[in-house]
Amino acid sequence: MKRLIPLFAALALSAFIGCANQRSLDPVSAQSTTLDKDGFDAQTETVQGFPGGDPALFQVLNLTEEQKTQLKEIVAAHHKEMEAWRAAHAGDLSREDIRAHRQEMRDALRQKIDAILTPEQRAKAAEIREQLQRGEVPEELVDARIAKLSEKLHLTEDQIAQLKALGFGTALPPGMPHHGADRTQRRERREEMRAKEQQLMNILTPEQQSLYAQMKAEHRDKMAERMQERSARRIQHRVAALSKALDLSASQQAQLTEILEKAHEQLRQKMKAERPRDREAFRKLLRENLKEVDKQIQEILTEEQRTKYAELKAKRHGKTKAF
């Protein structure tokens, strides 16, 4: 987790400025971003409002090394606080309660970030936020994104000029006005990104293409590591929630952890093998997985616990996911 804290710091800074969960429209923007989302489950566990970071913002705001260190410390403390709060209230709160607390934590985090910026940096952040809200990407942010890619791929001045002429590095983060977020628009963005990536390949030399492929592989590895961390946290939360609600023994908690870990790995392997292309296919895999998990959970419970478990499932729609 410690290796990911610098990445989360970029996410938090993006959130302060107003960038949202980013799956960028072009490869330059995508490769300047290391993570898609900060936090937990999208519906009930995500720290909404702290998604998609853009490390190029460090350069645009000209943060000092001391500020970067402070930002990392703030984010690390924020995650510890969130983990502690989740563990203390697992399964007890409604979605509304969670949203309210999440907003409080988001406001507190933004205030802490604001406190370490200079007046000039705060003004610059506000200016960038206003431009993004208008559907515009500041030129200096575009330049910073391309500069980061240039540093990694050793681009020539001519290649940089070609990228700028083709509009690389100008992707608006999702959640911003003018971006569009329905399925049709997301599909169109993916198609456009593939086309832009091909344009990028045409500009790069064979050696640069190899470097770019390596960058993408490293990006996927970081995402996989982050998803593994996230899954482990979710399992811990759900074991804690059921343990609290059903008064599970230590042996039952260990069995439940094993059930959830195996179910997660099985779902991951099925996803990898079958690669569902639409939402219904994915839901079918998920339903099958959850049905088997539900069966195995009930097998480790006593009769009294199974009755309580059934009551919990009946109330589940109005509460945060407890299992």
* Cα–Cα distance, 105 to 111 (Å, whole number): 10
* Cα–Cα distance, 174 to 194 (Å, whole number): 17
The per-residue DSSP string of 106-122 comes to HHHHHHHHHHHS-HHHH
The pLDDT of residue 258 is 95
> Going residue by residue through the chain (323 aa), what tens digit of pLDDT does each one get?
444 444 444 445 555 554 444 444 455 655 544 333 333 222 222 222 222 345 677 778 888 989 888 888 888 888 888 877 876 765 566 778 778 888 888 888 888 888 989 999 988 888 887 887 787 888 888 888 888 889 999 999 999 999 988 888 777 655 454 444 566 776 777 787 788 888 999 999 999 999 999 988 888 888 788 788 878 888 888 898 889 889 999 999 999 999 999 998 888 888 878 777 677 787 888 889 889 999 999 999 999 999 999 988 887 654 444 44
Q: Which residue in 169, 129, 118, 180 sits closest to 145, CA to CA? A: 169
Q: Which residue in 253, 255, 296, 25 sits closest to 135, CA to CA? A: 25
- In one-letter notation, the amino acid at residue 293 is V
* Cα–Cα distance, 87 to 210 (Å, whole number): 44
The pLDDT of residue 204 is 94
The pLDDT of residue 249 is 96
pLDDT digit string, tens, across residues 138-174 = 888 888 888 888 999 999 999 999 998 888 877 765 5
The helix or strand, by DSSP H or E, that contains position 183, with its residue range, turns out to be helix 183-203
- In one-letter notation, the amino acid at residue 98 is I
The pLDDT of residue 293 is 92
* Cα–Cα distance, 27 to 23 (Å, whole number): 10
| Residue 286 in tokens | 């998920």
**What average pLDDT does the chain have?**
76
- How many Cβ atoms sit within 10 Å of the Cβ of residue 209? 15
Where are the domains positioned within the chain? 2-204, 240-318
pLDDT digit string, tens, across residues 45-73 = 222 222 234 567 777 888 898 988 888 88
**Do the beta carbons of residue 128 and residue 72 sit within 8 Å?**
no
The pLDDT of residue 27 is 59
